[in-house]
Structure 1
Amino acid sequence: MFRADATTVGVSDAHLMAEIVAARPVRQTERSVYKPAGGADIPHDSATRTIRALGQDVTAGIRKPPPPARGLAGAWPYAPTSYLRRWLFGSDPLPVSLLAKRGITRSDTLSRLVDRAVTAWPGSGTGSARPESDSADGTTALAGLIRGAENPLERKQAVAMYRRASATLCDGVAALAGNALWLLRAAPEPREELTAVLWETLRLLPPAWMLYRNGGDAYAGLHPEIRAEGNIALLPLLMHRHPEHWSDPLEFRPERWTGVADPEKTPGFMPFGFDGARCWAKHLVVPLAERLLTVALEHGLTIRSPRQDAPVPLRSLLAVRFEAAVGT
């Protein structure tokens, strides 16, 4: 436990984290993907349809040949993020594919213009497309939720969920793959079992390194430093390095995951969040990151400008930044 600033405390102890998580359910405003949209909460059935559609799109994408590997050259994690969007969502019409573009999402004005363009997407609002069936025009199942919206509110929320789901997945997978490549530089066998590499990366450099909770009376009394009006940053990044749970906690050792049937049941390990607020796409992240890593390694991707240390901004995603080149 430590005080980060006047209003925020950081927690890395697994037992105290468990008490905090159990004190109250996570709020929708504390979950970036499912926060309210269009002036209303995201209904449970809408969230379920989004997860199902995204799963279909990832499964279909993994089966397709990847785009040319030269798209992975350049600044990471931005290059693989764009690469994944082309791979998974490149079949969507231009207005829809712009929903998750980094340059668009960082501008409220551009986001509103794109939203209007999507509203004018031919055939939208007819209720004719659902993710359970293949779209005749080749668009993704996630885009099908926009086209199949039955009323203006559902459509606004489908647009918001497309933007959030596609961006969150691609950003998270790109960060995980980039962190793994950076750690593999020092590994004696860089082509070892990639699934174990990714689980060890989730331990040492988890993209979801910090989980934020707004304060409240439910937390007061759990620890003298926690105030009802304060906020809490839960830090798996530090918990994953605690010697109480890990031997050689600062060493990159993928072999520690060999033969582990369910890594998420390992004590002191929370790579995708906590009960009641786990990553909604966790079952998609490791297979997609493994596929991305395979493409990168098979095409001789090398890191040009590695850094041994760098500041970690107080943002929810931890991604090592570097320049990469791809071999012929």
Structure 2
Amino acid sequence: MAPETVREHSVVYAPRIQDLLARDAKVFRVDATTVGVADARLMAEIVAARPVLQTERSVYKPAAGADIPHDSATRTIRALGQDVMAGIRKPPPPAGGLAGAWPYAPTSYLRRWLFGSDPLPVSLLARRGITRSDTLSRLVDRAVTTWPGGAGGNRSRNGNVNGNRSGDRTGADHPPTAMAGLIRGADDPLERRQAVAMYRRASATLCDGVAALAGNALWLLRTAPEPRQDLTAVLWETLRLLPPAWMLYRNGGDAYAGLHPEIRTEDNVALLPLLMHRHPDYWSDPLEFRPRRWDGVADPEKTPGFMPFGFDGARCWAKHLVVPLAERLLTVALDHGLTIRSPRQDAPVPLRSLLSVRFEASVGR
């Protein structure tokens, strides 16, 4: 499972990822306190051994000194779904915003597309330049927590607007998002602070993940130029070969000890879809980019050896939004002649929580 070359283009992984790809075993020791797992059956047993902890979730980890209540998490998922579906239906921003360094350009583009209608300072929560700075993030969080729009008009729990919207800067044709409505409708200071944190985390996680997936797909399409392909199949094949969620980390404990001789009570576990998706035990021609392998597959997530969004009970909270939004983003990019402008014939993939290729792009029309 060495790094592959597809036609005249290739992907160059960070050294630690290359080391993982070079492993032959499906279960192996990564370091003194971590065991890597690429075996589908053992992965399922690990996920089923105990519920995922809030501290193991990027979005729903504790905020403002308290756990995120289940009903609050559910409202966030529903509100984000409303906002993504509304974004998919409305015209996208000018495609010129997709030019530049990927995945950073599409991340900013998506945040503007989905959350740009929110009033200041709420919209700042979704600005990439803000979220990259802990200091600026804290300042914006405080500003939104005391946002006077919360007193002028309220939203119901489902995000609908009620009353005065004088604080909105976009007018009736562009109402604020349902996610902003959760901040405005918070009943007490703690709930409001947590709603602010959830807005920032959810918008960042979704936009970063979709931008990474779309960028990976564009690079793989470059390596296999054909007439316009089924973009849904392209995205499922991208999720197999270059999955942004390439590793799921689980804190160790008694629940995992005994599931495999290599796993001790004190060991943390790294579940590695990146390796499982490339293993010949599960896939034919595993290193080949073949979108047509998904032809006629009604439910890709039921495919053995495939874990693009996690297992039952621990699946990505936004999995139902990722592929439709990425397909919409790819359609905009391809319709406007986006071209990869890289002097290199390979794409670097740094060691980050999201696996994503890096390249420069221009928009032709």
TM range (shorter): over 0.9
Q: Distance in 2 between matches of 1:248 and 1:159?
A: 46
Q: Distance in 2 between matches of 1:21 and 1:267?
A: 16
CA pair 51-206 structure 1, distance change in 2 beyond 3 A: same
**Structure-2 separation of matches of 1:295 and 1:147:** 32
| Stretch deviating more after TM superposition (110-119 or 131-140) | 131-140
Q: After TM superposition, list the pairs within 5 Å mapping 1:145-224 onto structure 2.
A: 145-224=182-261
Which one of 153, 158, 163 corresponds to residue 132 of structure 1? 158
Q: TM-score, normalised to structure 2's length?
A: 0.86
Shift of 1:8: 1.2
Deviation of residue 180 (structure 1)? 0.2
| Distance in 2 of aligned mates of 1:156 and 1:289 | 30
| Corresponding residue SS for 1:302 | strand
Do the aligned residues in 2 keep the contact of 1:14 with 1:268 (CA within 8 Å)? yes
Say yes or no: does 1:114 pair with 2:140.
yes
Please, which of 64, 68, 71 is the counterpart of residue 38 of structure 1? 64
| Pairs aligned (count) | 327
Q: Distance in 2 between matches of 1:4 and 1:68?
A: 45
Correspondence for 2:319: 282
Q: Do 1:303 and 1:322's aligned partners in 2 also have CA atoms closer than 8 Å? A: yes
Gap change, CA 1:92 and 1:46, over 3 Å in 2:
same
Deviation at 1:118, TM superposition (A): 0.8
Structure 2 counterparts to residues 75-90 of structure 1, below 5 A: 75-90=101-116
CA contact (8 A) 1:125 1:148 kept: no
Moved more, 88-97 or 143-152: 88-97
1:38-79 C-alpha deviation (Å, 9 max, x unpaired): 111111111111011111101111111100000000000000
Question: Identical aligned pairs, as a percentage?
Answer: 85
User: 1:299: how far off?
Assistant: 0.7
Distance 1:157 1:27 in 2: 18
Partner of 1:52 in structure 2? 78
Return the alpha-carbon distance in structure 2 between the equivalents of residues 105 and 10 of structure 1: 31
Find the aligned partners of 2:267 and 2:337 in 1 and give their Cα distance.
Answer: 48
Q: Residue type of the partner of 1:284?
A: L
* Aligned residue identity for 2:266: E
Query: CA offset at residue 97 of structure 1?
Result: 1.3
Q: How does 1:222-241 map to 2 (within 5 A)?
A: 222-241=259-278
AA aligned to 1:101 is R
Report deviation, 1:171. Answer: 0.4
Q: Which runs of 4+ in 1 moved over 4 A?
A: none
1:321 matched to 2:347? The reply is no
1:308 to 330, 346, 359: 346
Q: Which residue of 1 aligns with 2:98?
A: 72
C-alpha distance in structure 1 between counterparts of 2:106 and 2:48, whole Å: 36
Match of 2:127 in 1: 101
1:140-177 deviations in whole A, cap 9, x for unaligned? 00000001000011001100100011000000100000
Gaps of 5+ in 2: 1-26, 169-174
8 Å CA contact 2:338–2:364 kept in 1: the answer is yes
Q: Give the counterpart letter for 2:348 in structure 1.
A: A
Offset from partner CA, 1:273-313 (integer Å, 9 cap, x none) = 12211011111100000000000001111111155363541
Amino acid at match of 1:298: D
Query: Aligned equivalents of 1:216 and 1:299: distance in 2?
Result: 51
Query: Structure 1 length normalisation: TM-score?
Result: 0.96
Cα distance between partner residues in 2 of 1:292 and 1:14: 31
Matched AA of 1:46: S
- For residues 320 and 208 of structure 1, the distance between their equivalents in structure 2, rounded to whole angstroms, comes to 13
Question: 1:63-121 deviations in whole A, cap 9, x for unaligned?
Answer: 11100000000000000000000100000112111113233223332122111211232
C-alpha separation in 1, matches of 2:227 and 2:358: 19
Alpha-carbon distance, 1:229 to partner: 1.2
Check whether the contact 2:160–2:181 (CA below 8 A) recurs between aligned residues. no
| C-alpha distance in 2 between matches for 1:116 and 1:243 | 51
Decide whether the 8 Å contact of 1:173 with 1:285 is kept in 2: yes
Structure with bigger strand share is: 2
- Checking the alignment, whether the CA contact within 8 Å between 1:127 and 1:149 is kept in structure 2 is no
SS of match in other structure, 1:124: helix
Which of residues 18, 25, 39 is equivalent to 1:13? 39
Output the CA distance in 2 between the equivalents of 1:309 and 1:10.
25
